Amino acid sequence: MNAHEKDIRRLRPGETLEDTASTGVSLHCHTLHSRELLDFVPYYAERIPVVRYLWSRSMDRRLKKNGRMPDFKNGYWEPPLTADIVFRSEADSLSRLGLRSIVSITDHDSISAGLELQRDRPAGEAPVSMEWTVPFGHAFFHIGVHNLPSDSARLIAEDLMAYTNAAGEPDDRWLGGLLAMLDSIEGVLVVLNHPMWDIEMIGQELHERSLAEFLETHRRWIHAIEVNGFRSNAENEEAVALALELGLPIVSGGDRHCCQPNTMINLTNAATFDEFVHEIRRERRSQIAVLPEYDVPLPSRQLASMRQILGSFPEFANGRAEWPGRVYLDAGDGLGPVTLAEQWGGRTPLWTYPAIWVIGLLAHWTMRPVISALIGDVDIGRNETAPAVGLSPMASPVPTRSLETGSV
């Protein structure tokens, strides 16, 4: 039996967990404080029917008019939801499972969400956390840094971001010092997020070679490997195998960016996040619950998330109600990235409406069998064939051990 098989429990529709654990821990969520990369946009747009045609025409016109393509590498987009909305959404999802909630929001390179939440909530229920972008050689990795001390979180985050934003080649000794510092703080949890994902788009071989080099040097500072709710079964199986090889526990990471709650959570009887961290770091004990929503093919869930991200939120102010007010591109005028709403003068190009309609159509639940047959359960922007169904902890519901009784 796979050594981590007992650590992953697949839930069936309607199943609850109040007899298994007292608390659900939702790790890895994003709010409007995240600045998300845009460099993937051309890659994905060219792989969606109809959108590909509309996108190509628009980019051709842009090239003829401006003499250059948009600079997606220096642009970014912001998820629409506030920290409070995301926290309450996750808490409601956990409550429906019969669990009290701990929610660790990890915006990209920002601790603002956790600081906001702690104005009204205990630190043990809403830790200050972030998803730290870590340049390393030709690659970069995303590290979940959970539960920074509230009184020093800003200073620590500034130190981490100084490394991320430093010019020139990444300094490995500097990185090692920062990771050692995080490890020295007893309540902090350091998680290597979606380790097998070539998020840099440098090629899977180079990504995995960089990952091996990173772990050879810094593995001792990593506390857990993430199994990610927005990555495929096959990729998560590779992450589980990596954790086994390294002798590290696995933890969940939902990686939500919009309206749908995380599809993976951790189960615990801990009353606070500090106690949960002790279970992972010292006892190396972790129990993951995979919700039925994860069984929806990944491309369908990606399309649904895209449609939500491109949706309208009339309750939001400050120009953020519509998606062009949440997407930033550098127009090359010396002003740096500004919103598309500003660049377009408030007039959204007509071609975007049918493109978004097509994304919504493909995201509809009735299209899931078609999407599954055409693409399988792989990232919509990848060219891999669908992975074969295997008898692994990520592949199908299996009997697992209860946290309390240890019985099957």
Helix axes 352-363, 298-309, angle to 10 degrees: 140
Helices (H), 247-347: 273-281, 298-309, 340-343
> For residue 68, what pLDDT is reported?
83
Contacts for 239 with CB less than 8 Å, ≥ 6 apart: 194, 195, 196, 225, 226, 227, 228, 231, 250
pTM: 0.90
Domain spans in the chain, listed from the N-terminal domain onward: 5-34+80-297, 36-77+299-375
Beta strands at 100-104 and 224-228: parallel, antiparallel or unpaired: unpaired
Classify the phi-psi angles of 281: left when phi > 0, otherwise alpha if psi is within -120 to 50, otherwise beta. alpha
Per-residue pLDDT of the chain (408 residues; tens, 9 = 90+): 355 666 999 999 999 999 999 999 999 999 999 999 998 898 889 889 899 999 999 999 988 888 888 888 889 999 999 999 999 999 999 999 999 999 999 999 999 999 999 999 999 999 999 999 999 999 999 999 999 999 999 999 999 999 999 999 999 999 999 999 999 999 999 999 999 999 999 999 999 999 999 999 999 999 999 999 999 999 999 999 999 999 999 999 999 999 999 999 999 999 999 999 999 999 999 999 999 999 999 999 999 999 999 999 998 888 899 999 999 999 878 888 999 999 999 899 999 999 999 999 999 999 999 998 988 888 887 644 433 323 234 443 333 333 333 322
Say how far apart CA 237 and CA 390 lie, in whole Å: 10
Neighbours of 154 (CB within 10 A): 14
> For residue 2, what pLDDT is reported?
53
> For residue 317, what pLDDT is reported?
81
- Domain 5-34+80-297: give its CATH superfamily: Metal-dependent hydrolases (3.20.20.140)
Residue type, 401: R
CA dihedral 268, 272, 273, 279 (to 10 degrees): -50
Sheet holding 71-77, edge to edge: 36-37, 71-77, 327-330, 337-339
One DSSP character per residue, 319-356 reads T-SSGGGGEEEE-SSSS-EEEHHHHTTT---TTHHHHH
First to last CA, the chain: 14
CA distances from 50 to 55, 56, 349, 365, 397 (A): 8, 10, 16, 19, 37
DSSP 392: S
